[in-house]
Amino acid sequence: MCGIAGLIHKKAGGANIGKEMTDMLQALKHRGPDSTGYALYGSPISNYIVRINLAEQADTKKGFDVANQLQSRSDQVDARMVELGAKVSKKENQTSYALRYELSFDGDLKNLIDYVEDIEGVEVMSCGNGLELIKDLGDAAVVSAQYDINSFQGSHAIGHTRMATESDVDIRSAHPYWAYPFADVSVVHNGQLTNYWTNRRALERLGNRFNSNCDSELIAVYIANRISDGDDLETAMRRSIEDLDGVFTYLVATSDSLGMAKDVMAAKPMVIYESDDFIALASEEVSIRSIFDHEIDTFDPYEGEVRVWQL
C-alpha cells in the first residue's frame, strides 16, 4: 500500500522539517510499517553531502567477523575517494553500516560514485549539496531516533512508509530513491508499475544503473534519464504519465522544487494542503493533520495531474 508525504516551507529560514516529516510519516504507519525513508533538504553547502551504506541492516547481525568487514569497506571507500581527488572534510558513522560524508570534488561525480559503489556491498544512497537521504527498516519513530532526524532544520522534504509488495524488505528497496547521478534529486512512490521490466531494460541499455528490484526505483532512473536528455522536471514528470504504466502517485524533490504526479486511473491517493508559505501533501489527510492542531482545507489532485512547487 505505502504512504508518501511531502512538505515545503517557502519562507526564508525554513523550519524543523525533521520533526514535521516524522510526525507525518508516523501518522501513515498503517499504510506500511516495513521501512521508512526521508529526503530532507537543508541549507545548501558548497561541499557535497554523500550518504553511503556499507551493508544491509540484516547482514550486520549475522556472519563471520562482520565488524571488521564493515571497517574494511569503510577504509576502501575512504581510499577510493582520496584516489580520485575528493577532499573529505567530515565523516560520520550514523550507524555501523550508514556513513555520511561531506567532501569537495571537482571531477566527474558519476565516476566517483561508480568507483565507490564498485566495492562489494557498498551503495551510495544519495549525493547533493542540501539533500540528506535517510532510509532504514522500521517505522518513523524508530528511524528518526536512529538517525537523530527530529531536530533537522530545512526548507522541504519528502518521505515514505513502505509496505513491501513486489520486492524485499531491505534498505535498498526502501524509498526515497536518489535520481543517480543528479545531485539533490529524490523520489518517493506509492503504487505499482506494470511495465517495469520493459522500461528497465530500455534504461539499462542506455547505461543507467539499478540497485534494487523495486519498481519505484524506475521512476527515479526515468526522471534522471529525462533530465539528462534536457527535460526540465515538470516536462519529465508529464512525460512519465504517458510512459509509465500501472497505478502510481509519486513525489519528486530537487534542491529548489517539489513535484507530484498522479496516473490517469487516479487509483492512488493524494491530499494537498496549500497556503501562501507552506504546502503539505500526503496519502491521507490524517498525516497532514499531525502537524496542525486545527482544521485545514485540503483537496485531491485529479487523474493525470502534475504539480510542481518552487521554493
Partner 1 sequence: MATVSTSGQSHDMGLHTEKLTNRTQQRFFDAGESANFTYAWAPEVDTNKVGTLDCEGMDPTAINIRIRELMDEGCGTINLSNPGSMHALCVGILNRLQLNVTGSLGYFGCGLIDGPNVNISGRVGWSCGENMMAGTIVIEKNAGSTFGAAIRGGDLVCRGDVGSRTGIDQKGGTIIVGGKTGAFTGFMMQRGRMIILGDAGMNLGDSMYDGTIYVGGKIEGLGVDAIPADLNDLDRKWLKSKLDLYGMETPNGIDNMQKIVAGKQLWNYDNLEPSEKKLVL
Our CB check for partner 1 shows the closer of 199 and 283 to be 283
Range list of H helices, 118-269: 140-147, 196-205, 215-228, 233-243
259 belongs to the binding site for partner 1 (CB under 8 A): no
276 belongs to the binding site for partner 1 (CB under 8 A): no
275 belongs to the binding site for partner 1 (CB under 8 A): no
Assess contact for 53 and 98: CB atoms under 8 A. Answer: yes
Select the span of 138-146, 205-213, 240-248, 299-307 touching partner 1 (CB under 8 A): 299-307
Give residue for cell 508525504: 5
State which of residues 271, 279, 291, 306 lies at the interface with partner 1 (CB under 8 A): 271
State which of residues 298, 307, 308, 311 lies at the interface with partner 1 (CB under 8 A): 298
116 belongs to the binding site for partner 1 (CB under 8 A): no
Give least dist CB 291 to partner 1, A.
12
CA dihedral 122, 86, 42, 37 (to 10 degrees): 0
CA dihedral 221, 124, 82, 103 (to 10 degrees): 90
Our CB check for partner 1 shows the closer of 145 and 286 to be 286
Give least dist CB 287 to partner 1, A.
9
Cα(120)–Cα(309) distance, integer angstroms: 39
State which of residues 241, 266, 308, 311 lies at the interface with partner 1 (CB under 8 A): 266
State which of residues 79, 84, 145, 265 lies at the interface with partner 1 (CB under 8 A): 265
Task: Report 86-115 residues binding partner 1 (CB under 8 A).
Answer: none
Residue 214 is among the residues annotated as catalytic for this protein: no
Annotated active-site residue in 1, 2, 43, 51: 2
Cα(23)–Cα(18) distance, integer angstroms: 9
Cα(195)–Cα(46) distance, integer angstroms: 39
- Tell me whether strands 98-104 and 87-93 are parallel, antiparallel or unpaired: antiparallel
Note the Cα 100 to chain centre separation in Å.
Answer: 15
The contact set with partner 1 (CB under 8 A) reads 264-267, 269, 271, 284-286, 288-289, 295-300, 302-303
* Residues belonging to the active site: 2
